Amino acid sequence: MVMCGIAAYYGPNAPLNTYKLLVELQHRGQESAGISILSKNSIKTIVRPGYVLTAISPNEVSRLDSQVAIGHVRYSTTGEPGSGVGTQPITLSSNGRSISLAFNGNIINYRDLSKEFLNSYIPSDAEVLARLVLKLYEELGDVVEAVKNLASLVRGSYSLVVLTPEPRVVIARDPWGFKPLTYSFNGEVLAIASESSALEVLGFDSWSEVGPGTIVSFDGKSLEVVDSGVRGVFSPCVFEYVYFSRPDSVFNSVQVHEARVRMGMYVGGMDNVDVDVVIPVPDSGRSAALGYSIVRKVLFDEGLIRNRYAGRSFITTPDVRDFISDVKYGVIKSVVCGRRVAVVDDSLIRGTTMERIVKILKCRGAKEVHVRVASPPVKYPCFMGIDFPTRRELIASRYDDVDSISKYLGADSLLYNTVEGLRWAVKLPSLCLACYTGVYPFKDINVEVLEKVFSRW
């Protein structure tokens, strides 16, 4: 169960270019990194724990010789941290067929699929997905048809890439369009990444988004685009806009930075508390803080300095999350001392980090600290790939009202965005807002059962 980043490259220096894409997607996963290449008609896979640059060295990658490669950075949402379960790409072989698969998402019915189609219990939805694709590939004789069949079998979210020894690369996005997936093709080279920003950094300024329920394949000669024929309710994950994606990325034709600025503007329009300075929680709160300051006509400044070696605490494994929160931020005292401070963050999930931020701001002399959140209260678990699968870990679910949460944080006041404000900011006809509303895209979802299935608590 993973909220991750996937990449692939078909063309010259494929391993190194895939590696570069993974570095650009590091914000989507910090637990492990992996690359699969095609070498002498067989798939070779390297998967190790840690960040991309430490898990696999650039020198090691530069020695890999292949015209095609796929890669993955992992952020797990269930399972024991460091167990290795679910690390990707997953490479499998059976009866003369081989595949390597990497995916971003969460398969809700992976246990049922494992029992019905694989006749066994497999504790990883990534492995279930890979084994299911291989089984269908064997039965149908065509990997594209195998991936196409996933759309009618899988319940949940997936953006995936599959490598075969033909050689062929296949990418696909689920019919609901939960997660991002982009590609660039110039007639000879195919580059693939979870986010458009990764492609642009490598110079691929012309790119396309994979549509919901769409499969794209390339064998080195021709690019094929196939529709799965399955239609879900368009449900892109709103948390991509709130937090997960880079601000320079585009998802469903919406610039993430601009959506976040509008989130901050909406919150600013609701606020009537006098403040002297607006500071962001870096880095994902910066765009919203800018929007808030524009509407309030209050000075925007950098008051918090992020330790860039600490990583993203939200996607850090639970065993070190508190430690990372303790060492993540420093304060520019001259910006906050003696002032009424509005501190703007993208979201408030568990409250761990914000409690520490409020405390250190007051310790550095802030006269008042007013917490402003660019998204609504998260009250319900996510089963589509974000790491809050139980209500008891959500601060807005544990406390009955905003005043109680504000008191817990030690803040002078707390103001959230609204669901209406979020819709206005993103400007799409529909979104997955289940973590705010409790209304899930799959209508028969059983929250209590899934909390037990996906909880690592």
346 contacts 374 by C-beta, under 8 angstroms: yes
190-193 sheet: strands from edge to edge? 42-49, 32-39, 68-74, 5-10, 190-193, 182-185, 208-209
Could you list the active site residues? Answer: 4
- How far is Cα 88 from Cα 102, in angstroms, rounded to an integer? 6
Q: DSSP H helical segments within 271-415, as ranges? A: 286-296, 318-327, 333-336, 352-363, 395-398, 402-409
Which tokens belong to 447?
């929250």
Strand partners, 370: 342, 413
Cα dihedral 307→248→226→94 (10° resolution) = -20
Whether the CB-CB separation of 333 and 341 falls below 8 Å is answered with no
**What distance in Å separates the CA atoms of residue 343 and residue 337, rounded to the nearest whole number?**
14
Q: Which two tokens stand for residue 333?
A: 């005292």
**Alpha carbon distance 299, 239 (integer Å):** 27
Which residue, 456, 18, 449, is CA-closest to 202? Answer: 18
Do the beta carbons of residue 290 and residue 301 sit within 8 Å?
A: no
